[in-house]
Chain A
């Protein structure tokens, strides 16, 4: 399961009038973990289904571990792609036992029994082989679906919104388990989610899709702090925007001077995450507290600047008490993103 690469080139797919996927280019190295993140209807699931072979692209090429599966006049059917898929609703065969579900994709004549045991142990379901799917909890069903997809040793594992069917309380734990399992087998993984926290915390790389286009692929940290445009910035987390001006390699805005990325010039917009804005009570401070919401672990403070612009600041819960009308001083971290106005 090494040396695989996934490559999509200029992938496009329309459904009637609607363009679901347009000009998607993507490369993923073997063993890497990619999240496709985007609002609903952005084309991320269609991209996944194109990779799996369930949809036929109108245009473009797909290569999986060095083998072309889509191209001009070429469409390899799903069963010949060696792509494992975990569906949002798991899609376990209800008439087959757990073991039979897992064995379903194993080739004839192989030692199915041994492989099933091995893979059930991997997902921590040893001894559950004879159960029927409906006898399992949601988290267990999820692991069976994962085991079934991994059993034939696929070149690529696709997961479609894999955690959205789980209770919020269970989700964090299952996410960690699933990630561990996938890491252990060294699988190359693409998963789809609309939950930015899920994407950032699980993936090596996050691809943001909007309106059918892949607008940015980056490491979670880079994506969070250097989103390519305002829409991505807003989608990937909370964001403050302030007007600014670039002069001689520095950006000036109401919060002070920051180093520029060297690309943008003139009038710009400066983006800061709320936790990049730190506060200190000061009688003659330049900003005023409008509202404070306390969450325990952290707190969100809404501020009004001198210019009238509003700003959000996220602080630890222990960072002090703030109340409406209070004057504060601001300190911003140097990492800002800059966009053309």
Chain B
């Protein structure tokens, strides 16, 4: 969930200070350029290998794989799911944003917070709670059985995947639209009202068109997240790309089919990115005033009050209360039944060590890249920067798969070691470390470094006495973010973890697959906490970003 959260962060806060527009002349020093090149190529390498591998499967075979009915079914299924989840999220997100920002909904402040909170549930944790509640061996079934109801409609397949992914991703739309609504100049709407339009028509003719960029931004995040999600679709047994890739990979010896599927998924992702880019390009509206905008009048809901409240309550019930109660229930039940230890400390230790190492490595890798792209922005450094964003664009399972291929063929001594797993984490989460170091470096005027130079300090002394201390908060944020996201990582851990290496995430996944719900409860609770902290960090960073402008 978090790679996407950072994407949200980047989209919302990509403001560049004035000095970025000034021409630069100097060439970057080698002690920056070389490490940055090294990091970028290490990140690009596995994907390149995946391409080679897929190309290596003879052309006829590739065509065969592509034309299999199953492949087409997977393609349509994935695309359909991404589209449906995105549409549903937009409807829910826009409605909630509008209700909490622009109407006199009772308890607005409470709903404003509560409706964002489902974001803190990693999708596979959410899926686990849905299955544990509504599945064939779940809570609701257990309650209904005495009443003679033998089977609930199945939670598995498309409906379950749609429900789970919508419930836990609509907050992306909500957050982005809410920011858009708050930035909207109320005088636009007031002008329309004064020209005799009613509130509904104003919303339709003025407000909504102006919210289009925010809707696209949020919708893009939801679509990308849905495409890249592995945990929820695999637990809910919906045959999306990620699940099909995993099944291909684990079931057959011929892994080029998995490679071809992975490339197809990458193509679909790129397609969505390009469509979004085009739509956003057309929907660029200027803000008629900058700075703090006057607060617009709130619309009276009147008789719509009760339905509006019921809607908010339903969303929060399904997206937050249900999962938390399910986790609480199975935790209590496991404890009461004397189930050994609800939490295996080995597993916690594994999670902490893998993501801790990844956090350190990612931040170290991000520093030269960040300095290079911020202080020496030219075409070459922009390409270096883009390459690191592969971790954004590529679904985790694809990165994991490419590293499996790479490790098995070129680095057998690394294959199935902690080192390769940590490397996979770094590739996936480098953008987070990079983003927060870049953000704090952007706040740092190069004039500070020049002042230090003119006061007699060498570039290296300037780096240690001025740049580094001022960069520290950003680096710490990056460290925390990568650590917290690493804790939740699922697909790469499944594919690349050493034999017998279980983490909190893989434990939840395995236990849910086998319907040992009690065993998944404690790790799930822990991960919800971890995820809540990381999202809190991201959102507060975002506020800072806005505050500066």
Contact = CB atoms under 8 A, between A and B. Distances in A.
B23 A152 contact: no
A94 B452 contact: no
B25 A91 contact: no
A149 B466 CA distance: 16
B453 A87 contact: no
A106 to B, nearest CB: 9
Interface string A86-98: 0111010111000
B456 A91 contact: no
A87 B453 CA distance: 13
B450 interface: yes
Interface in B490-549: none
Given A15-B25, A16-B23, A94-B470, A105 B456 contact: yes
Main secondary structure of the interface of A (DSSP, over half): loop
Contacts of A104: 452, 455, 457, 465
Interface string A294-330: 0000000000000000000000000000000000000
Given A79-B456, A79-B458, A91 B451 contact: yes
A80 B455 CA distance: 9
B448 to A, nearest CB: 5
Interface string A325-341: 00000000000000000
Contacts of B454: 52-54, 78-79, 81, 83-85, 105, 149
Interface in B424-456: 445, 447-448, 450-456
Contacts of A93: 448, 451-452, 466, 470
Given A94-B470, A105-B456, A55 B25 contact: yes
A148 interface: yes
Nearest to B449: A91
A63 B59 CA distance: 68
Contact of A89 (B25, B445, B456, B459): B445
A266 interface: no
B469 interface: yes
Given A15-B25, A55-B25, A56-B25, A91 B455 contact: no
Contacts, number: 69
A77 interface: yes
Contacts of B23: 15-16, 18
A89 to B, nearest CB: 6
B25 A148 contact: no
Contact of A87 (B25, B450, B466, B469): B450
Nearest to B18: A89
Contact of A152 (B456, B458, B469): B456
A107 interface: yes
A91 B447 contact: yes
Contacts of B470: 93-95
B451 A95 contact: no
A107 B26 CA distance: 27
- Counting chain A CB atoms within 10 Å of each CB, which of B448, B455, B459, B469 scores highest? B455
25 contacts: A15-B25, A18-B23, A52-B450, A53-B454, A54-B450, A55-B25, A56-B26, A77-B453, A77-B458, A79-B453, A79-B455, A79-B458, A84-B454, A84-B455, A85-B450, A85-B451, A87-B447, A87-B451, A91-B447, A91-B451, A93-B448, A93-B452, A93-B470, A94-B470, A105-B456
Interface of B: 23, 25-26, 445, 447-448, 450-459, 465-466, 469-470
Q: Which 6 A-B pairs have the closest CB atoms?
A: A105-B455, A91-B447, A78-B453, A85-B454, A91-B451, A15-B23
